[in-house]
Amino acid sequence: MPVSPSNRLARSVPWRLPAAFAAGALSVLGFAPFSLYPLALAGPLLLLWLWRDASPRSGFQSGWAYGLGLLGFGVFWLHISIDQFGNLGTAAAIALTLLFVLALALYYGLVGWLTARLWRRGGGDWSLLLTIPSLWVLGEWLRGWILTGFPWLVLGYSQIDSPLGGYAPLFGVYGVSWLLLLSVALLFRLLRPGVGGRRWLGGRGWLAGGLVLLWGGGALLHQVQWTEPAGEPLQVSMIQGNIAQEAKWQRDSLRPTLALYTGLTREQWQSDLIIWPETAVPAFAHQVEETLLQPLAAEALANRSELLIGIPQWDGETGAYYNAMLSLGQDPDQQRGSYAKRHLVPFGEFMPLKRWLRPLVEWLQIPMSDFTPGDSPRPLLRLAGYYAGISICYEDAFGEEVIEALPQAAFLVNASNDAWFGDSLAPRQHLEMARMRALESGRYLLRSTNTGISALIDPKGKVQGFSPAFQQHVLSGEIIPMQGATPYVRVGNWAVVLFSCLLVLVALLKGGHRGAPLR
């Protein structure tokens, strides 16, 4: 295949890898807190130019470099928890974070290798147009699944405020990623010289028309109401205690912490539901049963309110302990409701391959780092007269797990503690992911955090109120219980994943029959 002059520079090693790295770094600006969503197109567009006419080896290298730029800048905040709370020192924390980024960037390298391989073999314009988004999304999906998954910075999140966000209730965040990469492929061809006649989708007019239709359709979908009210509004309050992570688990912090949360709670008994953050109580439930839980439950019941608190639970028979949310104040004749976190954070809440990596646990010295995953079949709790879908910490990063509570859940709750990552990009990115869960499900989402950002998010993914980061604050507001199911709730991620697999398979099978190259 002849190499175009414009791509000789792209294939030059000294320029190709830095350009790919810069494209990944540029893509970070598409996510919160920057939220410059057009730049989430610009980064992959530059990468696609670098992949054009590249060898599979060059495609892998530039894809890997893109991943290093995206993840290196986008999730470098991981070193904060390792450094400050793992007691390893700054140099070791940075080294471990870089190793993590180097490994995860390999997914983008694999996508680049496959893209370049298919491009060189020639698959026909239609085939490659649809295969590039499919390969990209499969890479993102695998990254969010293998070894319990790390689905941070999936490109679809960057589009929650763009017209493409309108497709989230239909296809979820991976579907939005697919359509974003389709837009990139259309732009790539539209901006390349030599487009005309009927050789490629009828020329520039068809390309521009496809983009207008795609983005205009998303804008119209933003106006669709996928769910409807299921009852009267509820008054809710989220308590943000702002307890410093380094002091949280110290023994002399227990009394002041409980005094703070109970004092702020007693000012909010007019609310139907009051929510404390993840592990707001730095003690096991049985240790504070008589001094905290029973009195609070009685007060909540007397005030016709309900309280949901984050508290670890210990099983005296097995010795296992759980990261849990506990409801107080419901009908005393009913059993107290609780939900134990099912999707734990590797190395932070549990140690994979514990038999061989036990010395690493002792070396890291992270408090409460050996939780047992909960076994609830569905993440549901009965709260304020309705079922609520519960997620703890980064469980809300997994849309396929959140929708397990639907359509039964009338609203969603996420309790978290992003204090592990300080004043970094992490809390803002996490809030953006929570917004996507609300949009995908057509439900209000109540987010209660320790140091921020607590938020009340409506079914369109819009933040109706939030607590300032690193401040003690009580966020109160009104939500409407919702009913019904969006298309994404009914089919989950499988529709996009299987569709992408089918398109890639077709492209691979057609690889032996060289079509007109995408040039």
Q: Which residues are catalytic?
A: 278, 341, 393
Using CA atoms, how far apart are residues 63 and 23, in angstroms rounded to an integer? Answer: 10
* CB-based contact 302:287 (threshold 8 Å): no
CB atoms within 10 A of CB 512: 7
Distance CA 381, CA 310 (A): 13
Euclidean distance between CA atoms 380 and 408, whole angstroms? 8
Which candidate, 203, 184, 185, 274, places its Cα nearest to that of 234? 274
What three-state secondary structure class fits 134?
helix
3-state secondary structure of 381: strand
- Count CB neighbours of 173 within 10 A: 31
Three-state secondary structure call for residue 305: coil
C-alpha–C-alpha distance, residues 236 and 39, integer Å: 36
Kindly give, in sequence order, each residue whose CB lies less than 8 Å from that of residue 156, ignoring residues fewer than 6 positions away. 164, 168, 172, 173, 174, 175, 176, 177, 180, 436
| Continuous segment of H or E residues that includes residue 306 | strand 306-314
Taking the C-alpha atoms of residue 38 and residue 74, their distance in angstroms, rounded to an integer, is: 17
> Strands 482-483, 228-229: parallel, antiparallel or unpaired by DSSP?
antiparallel
* Alpha carbon distance, N-terminus to C-terminus of the chain: 10
The rounded distance, in Å, linking the Cα atoms of 323 and 198 is 60
Q: Which of 347, 343, 423 is nearest to 379 (CA)?
A: 343
Q: Which CA distances in Å does 438 have to 217, 482, 489?
A: 20, 11, 11
